[in-house]
């Protein structure tokens, strides 16, 4: 397995971004977001949002030449009271689950990030056990007000 890392210095091409957006949309399943939101997250990571400085890192895992997993972590621009990084997405191809790909991606994320890392996980998401094994703790329950 190989892991590729993209960031502002090594940006995704348009074709790669479409492939990763489609992959996350498909393999996040019930824990995912709309394609447009995933694409916006990747644009944030690649610093393609013109009205503010943004950054992050995208990791992808390949088994031979097949895309098997993707993780996206964005920098928050904050420190201490809000972690410096947020893991926005991580997904493994359904055919490759249970082979340690998500664990390897998480170790890459943790090793690459400067500062603390936050993530949101649904209570019933089986990935929660992986995050706990890696040292993540549940400090808060998130609540959101969605303004329409």
Residues 11, 54: contact at Cβ < 8 Å? no
Query: What pLDDT is attached to residue 38?
Result: 98
95 lies in some domain: yes
82 lies in some domain: yes
116 lies in some domain: yes
pLDDT in tens, the chain (148 residues): 999 999 999 999 999 999 999 999 999 999 999 999 999 999 999 999 877 778 999 999 999 999 999 999 999 999 888 899 999 999 999 999 999 999 999 999 999 999 999 998 888 888 888 999 999 988 777 777 889 8
Query: What pLDDT is attached to residue 64?
Result: 93
Q: Which residues contact 96 (CB under 8 A, 6 or more apart)?
A: 63, 68, 69
CATH of the domain at 65: 3.40.630.30
Q: Give the count of alpha carbons within 13 A of 94, CB side only.
A: 7
Q: Which residues contact 51 (CB under 8 A, 6 or more apart)?
A: none
Rounded distance between C-alpha atoms, residue 127 and residue 129, angstroms: 5
Query: What pLDDT is attached to residue 140?
Result: 76
Rounded distance between C-alpha atoms, residue 26 and residue 21, angstroms: 9
Query: What pLDDT is attached to residue 18?
Result: 97
- In residues, how long is the chain? 148
Provide the domain count of the chain.
Answer: 1
Domain that holds residue 43: 2-133
Query: What pLDDT is attached to residue 2?
Result: 95
101 lies in some domain: yes
Query: What pLDDT is attached to residue 67?
Result: 98
Query: What pLDDT is attached to residue 147?
Result: 92
- Partners of 70 in the beta sheet? 60, 91
Rounded distance between C-alpha atoms, residue 30 and residue 68, angstroms: 18
140 lies in some domain: no
Query: What pLDDT is attached to residue 58?
Result: 98
């Amino acid at each position: 397995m190989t892991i590729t890392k993209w960031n502002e210095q090594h940006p995704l091409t348009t074709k790669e971004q479409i492939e990763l957006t489609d992959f996350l949309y498909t393999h996040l399943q019930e824990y995912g977001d709309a394609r447009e939101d995933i694409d916006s997250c990747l644009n944030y990571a690649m610093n393609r949002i013109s009205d503010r400085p943004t950054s992050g890192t995208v990791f992808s895992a390949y088994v031979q030449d097949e895309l098997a997993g993707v993780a996206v972590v964005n920098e928050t621009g904050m420190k201490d009271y809000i972690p410096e990084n947020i893991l926005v997405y991580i997904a493994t191809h359904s055919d490759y689950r249970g082979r340690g790909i998500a664990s390897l991606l998480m170790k890459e994320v943790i090793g690459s990030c400067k500062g603390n890392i936050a993530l949101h996980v649904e209570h019933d998401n089986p990935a929660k056990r992986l995050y706990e094994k890696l040292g993540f703790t549940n400090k808060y329950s998130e609540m959101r007000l969605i303004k329409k």
